[in-house]
Copies of this chain bind each other. A is one copy, B any other.
């Protein structure tokens, strides 16, 4: 069943769910065949608002994402969901039977759900998540929700793909809040305290307030701290309203343009890294040659830097310093 590129693009842009799913698989698998597709779709995209939702495992991200998506669907907006969280019901947590919860959205033609089960993938998750977002955007999604676990370099990079980043906390996190301080807190446009019906919600709120009071931030956007109970849907409408307020803020404030610029720059650099590597790896590497290089390293005959330099020279790199 082969489609011409034009036909494929047309199917995606008409919102055909199978075409969208197939395209995401294609970019996820990598390889040159997806590049003409991504080039073409780039010119069809650019309208979706991308919301990153991050938080530690057990914070209830998947449930909140589901409720957010349902609320946007109620407003008749097309919604894409990209879950790059290993604990997500869309990817790993399916063991728990949580996937069942998503059944309503799974049968909704205006909702696109995709897990990125790409742990271990060379090149990282961020480029794959970016490409999936581009496809969902071209498919007519008004909103794309990206769900990540808020620890680790990759997750911070993914958060940077978003127009708005929601950081979720829960009461009784204890020392865990320390983790967030180191890198995640800075990227929050909105805070959500989920499971806000549990004891300690107010304490978490005060801790966030304290942090915000000492952190250097934009004077023009007052980072809101919202409370939700994702399981019951409590506070979800308020969260959507707050996100929409932030969207309007971005439209008129230089921060919006700055952020789009930074996102484009990071993606360009990540893409360059990935494609350089793929090109050289394809030209120079077969299993035999890798085994030979690795054998030399293990016997300490040659160091890895010298081998890399040899590979780069053999790839036809213009020689230069370094």
Contacts and interface: CB of A to CB of B under 8 A. Distances in A.
Contacts of A290: 265, 268
Contacts of A235: none
Contact of A86 (B179, B261, B282): B179
Interface in A124-166: 124-125, 149, 151-156
B181 A321 contact: no
A322 B174 contact: no
A3 interface: no
Contact of A92 (B86, B153, B181, B269): B181
B95 A306 contact: no
| Dominant secondary structure at the A interface | helix
Chain A contact-residue range equals 35 or more
Copies in the complex: 2
Contacts of A250: none
A104 interface: no
Interface string A266-295: 011101110111111111000000100110
Contacts of A32: 321-322
Contacts of A152: 149, 151-155
A219 interface: no
Contacts of A293: 268
A74 interface: no
Contacts of A125: 153
Contact of A308 (B121, B268, B297, B298): B268
Interface of A: 32, 35, 38-39, 42-43, 46, 56-58, 86-87, 91-93, 95-96, 119-122, 124-125, 149, 151-156, 174-176, 178-179, 181-183, 260-261, 264-265, 267-269, 271-273, 275-283, 290, 293-294, 297-298, 300, 303-309, 311-312, 315-318, 320-322
Given A86-B151, A283-B318, 13 more contacts: A35-B322, A43-B300, A43-B303, A149-B152, A153-B154, A261-B298, A264-B298, A265-B290, A267-B304, A268-B293, A271-B308, A275-B322, A282-B322
